[in-house]
Structure 1
Amino acid sequence: MSQAVDPLAPADVLRAQGRSFHWAARFMSAATAGDAAVLYAFCRRIDDLGDETAPERAGPALDAVFAALDGGPVPDRETERFLGLAQRRGISLDAARALVRAVRADLDAPQLPDGDALIQYAHGVAGTVGVMMCPVLGVRDPRAWPFAVDLGIAMQLTNIARDVGEDAASGRRYLPATWLGGPLSPAELCAGDSEVDGRVRRALARTLETADRYYASAERGMRFIPARARLAILAARHIYAAIGPRVLAAHDWRRRAAVPPGRKAVCSLAALMAFAHPRTWDVGSPSAHDPALHASIAGRVGADPDAPA
């Protein structure tokens, strides 16, 4: 008799819902890819509670996960598996708590006021994931954390640029009002006109320019990652960064842009070339992190300890 497939198996979640990360995981060892899938499934569970569950149910569900991180009853399989992984790998539960808090706050359908709020949001929902990924990848040096945070922030900024239309349809606006030249409601984004379109495109360009600065910083921290896992993270970085130009080139930014398999292969080749011929992080001591990148998140988990408050 064939064994039933667990519908919550982390590898299945990664394969079905994390296409870019599933592609990059091909470059990891089986053990590392398995642990990364467990972390991904937990983070995806938190994200889905925030995005796909009615707020009156999502709030208590997220509170239950937060309580489990503090030693309370475990509410679901994803959290149970994550807690086992965290104990085995030494993952920061402070980062996990920060992730849950950020998604919990997101239930209030935010409309971000400025760039500082955008970076703070991106840190909460994605920079924290970078911190949790470090021990999964075998990274133990705490100097790596700010660079890992930067990769998470960069990827989240890419997500925000890609998903403006979807987010607006759910009542959320992450593009900062100051970058839009003034506040625009999600309804105004969805309706749109030529004047709104121009404002959104300028804000998209600024968001993706900001993402590029964080991608560049993240790449300077790649030398902290063991070689095989480093190639996987470089692949994820290049694939995700490739979304931005497709967003800017799209005729309708309300439709989600994606990187087709052929382009992913090109990005993987670029990652392989960066791996084989590093320029910014292969010589001498690790490049110092730019603390100015973390001025908005000073004191938060994984942030540069020298960031100006």
Structure 2
Amino acid sequence: MGYDYALVHLTYTIPPAALLSIVYAPLCTKLDLYRILFLITIAVLSTIPWDSYLIRTGIWSYPSNVIVGPTLFDIPLEEVFFFVIQTFNTTLLYLILNKPILHPIYLVKEKKGDKWLYVKLIGQVVGALLLKQAVTFVRNGGERTYLGLILAWALPFLLLLWSLAYQLLVQLPATSTVLPIAVPTLYLWVVDTLALKRGTWVIETGTKTGWTLWPGLEIEEAIFFLLTNCLIVFGLVAFDNAIAVLHAFPAHFRRVSDLPSPMLLIQALLLPSKAYDDDRILGIQQSVDRLKKKSRSFYLASSTFSGRLRIDLIILYSFCRVADDLIDNADSTADAQKGVQKLKTYLDHCYGADVQDEKGNVITSKDANRGSATLYAVQNFPDDAQLTLLLLPTQRLAKEPLYELLEGFKMDLTFTAQTPCGPIKTDSDLNLYGARVAGTVALLCIQLVLHYHPGASEINAKHLMSAGHDMGIALQYTNIARDLTVDASNGRCYVPPPWLKKEKLTPDSFISGLKALQQEDFFTKKVSTIRARLLDRAFSFYNSSIDAVEELPGPARAPMRVAVESYMQIARELQKPGFKVKAGRATVPGWKRIWVAWRSLWGRRAKG
């Protein structure tokens, strides 16, 4: 009886497991726990017969003075625990690295003669040839027996997983697949080297090649740990491939539970790729790209949501950006106004309202449907905007906030050289603007949350809507405070004239000063005072509504907290002297965004 093998776990495998658990705990969902248990179960059940055979045939052994004693099918319990802890550690690292990834964007609808058929076939041929060689090694016996047994055990599983999930295995970023294989493998190579030198486990001579990767590490052991980590990651990718299919294609899978059954996962993996909706995949891809480019804060926050809710939120944000760009990038105010009208007409089609032509004549009655909306989008919007419009989940969204959003865009169009403050004359005007361009979006987000996580009473739902509306205004005040210089460069001033008058400024002098980037103390102080007042208003709305986040349905509570706190961190940065500016806007360093998100997931928030 001994404790050497147990000490290996206490020293080398359990500490990383504890660290990874602490890092990932606030991100962990029920689906993640299901995934972990699923993988561990398969790993243990598939490894026990093979490991037991190796021990019973004397290919490897464990001296009695290094193990506690109890065994399962001749396998020391410490070894069985190794199957569990290795799978657990590699899985957690994979989950951490894949959290920002929206896997459906890597699905591909295959067509006859395209490269994917060859990619799949090449992988299968290579795997089959290696498997054939492994069988030869085992049959011939001798010093390549152990190597052959490793390959003969691992390759059939890898071949199956490759055949089911080769698209994602090839397309996912290397940080999502290669890294969670390479890091645990290298670490376990070091651990194995130390264990072999200490005699914690022994590979018998005569069945091994004698080759080493480095002094003390048998080549068979190096290959074993590489292949086992490949098996774990391949299994995780196959699981995520199935989940991606389930979430991306509601036409094939109308309803999907939070914990889909193994049979449903298999059904999703076996769905022929030619049945994929390539327009939907492309539309989601375009939406994700917009999110990455236009809002790093919301992109980070979106990764904490999951399933179809995450997809719908990304598409909703993409719609807001498409609408915003159609107006901001228009050649003239008249063209921008036409853009707003087109968006309204599109929504009329979606919601079955009376649709009118430019002369006011009704051209479609209230029996309008998605078919007419599709035709209108294709005929009237740029190619890169069409799919976002078509994927907008109007059937899950009330129409009023969307129409109010368009009213907010109309307010933007009233800013001119002659009226640089546009419609913003008073505090109430600024509140109305914030409500229309941001409060509406917050309302729509809450609607999606309550759709996917129903159960709130009517009174509670109204309360959440009201709080979300106010939080949207808080975020808009933050946005205005951040973009004072950028807006000035566009000839716009969102600061109410009474605020400027108090600082002995006019809209024109305020804009011209910001354009010239004047650094005189008197002007800098005035701008700082105005910005501080905007931030005070932001935190006033924030403080009055933040507690409602804790009343949201459980699965959306922490993610919504991340979305809010990630953006409000911009406001906190603006309150600090010498805040960092990029492209005329205050910015939050990447490490701090991650830290704020992680703290928010634990239910903690900074003061402000």
Structure 1 residue 99 displacement after superposition:
0.4
1:247-295 alpha-carbon deviations (Å, 9 max, x no partner) = 23354889311111111122113212327x9xxxxxxxxxxxxxxxxxx
* Alignment partners' CA distance in 1, 2:489 and 2:450: 39
State which drifts further: 189-198 or 245-254: 245-254
- Label 1:2 to 1:250 Cα distance change in 2 as closer, same or farther (>3 A): farther
2:406 aligned partner, one-letter code: V
- Label 1:11 to 1:30 Cα distance change in 2 as closer, same or farther (>3 A): farther
Alignment partner of 2:493 out of 170, 173, 187: 173
1:6 aligned partner, one-letter code: L
Q: Does 1:92 align with 2:398?
A: yes
Alignment of structure 1 residues 157-306 onto 2, 5 Å: 157-180=477-500, 181=502, 182-185=505-508, 186-191=511-516, 192=518, 193-249=520-576, 251=578, 255-274=584-603
Alignment partner of 1:36 out of 303, 309, 313: 313
* Alignment partners' CA distance in 2, 1:19 and 1:122: 21
TM (normalized to structure 2)? 0.42
2:599 aligned partner, one-letter code: A
| SS of match in other structure, 2:493 | coil
**Unaligned 5+ runs, structure 1:** 278-309
Q: Any runs of at least 4 consecutive aligned residues in structure 1 with deviations exceeding 6 A, and if so which?
A: none
Alignment partner of 1:154 out of 454, 464, 474: 474
8 Å CA contact retained: 1:150, 1:215 = yes
- Label 1:62 to 1:184 Cα distance change in 2 as closer, same or farther (>3 A): same
| SS of match in other structure, 1:196 | helix
* Alignment partners' CA distance in 1, 2:115 and 2:295: 27
1:261 aligned partner, one-letter code: G
1:4-44 alpha-carbon deviations (Å, 9 max, x no partner) = 98376222222232211110111111211100011011111
| SS of match in other structure, 1:274 | coil
1:190 aligned partner, one-letter code: K
8 Å CA contact retained: 2:411, 2:433 = no
1:98-141 alpha-carbon deviations (Å, 9 max, x no partner) = 10111122012251333222111111100011111112112661
- Percent of pairs identical after alignment? 26
Q: Does 1:59 align with 2:337?
A: yes
Structure 1 residue 229 displacement after superposition:
1.7
* Alignment partners' CA distance in 2, 1:155 and 1:207: 11
C-alpha RMSD of matched pairs (Å): 2.4
| SS of match in other structure, 2:425 | coil
1:118 aligned partner, one-letter code: L
* Alignment partners' CA distance in 2, 1:235 and 1:103: 27
**Unaligned 5+ runs, structure 2:** 1-113, 117-277, 350-354, 356-375
Larger helix percent: 2
* Alignment partners' CA distance in 2, 1:21 and 1:97: 23
8 Å CA contact retained: 1:250, 1:257 = no
Structure 1 residue 2 displacement after superposition:
5.8
| SS of match in other structure, 1:259 | coil
8 Å CA contact retained: 2:291, 2:298 = yes
Q: Aligned residue pairs: how many? A: 272
Alignment partner of 1:23 out of 296, 300, 312: 300
Q: Does 1:130 align with 2:442?
A: yes
Could you tell me which residue of structure 2 aligns to residue 281 of structure 1?
none
State which drifts further: 36-45 or 3-12: 3-12
8 Å CA contact retained: 1:238, 1:267 = yes
8 Å CA contact retained: 1:127, 1:149 = yes
Q: Which has the higher contact order (CA 8 A, sep 6+)?
A: 1
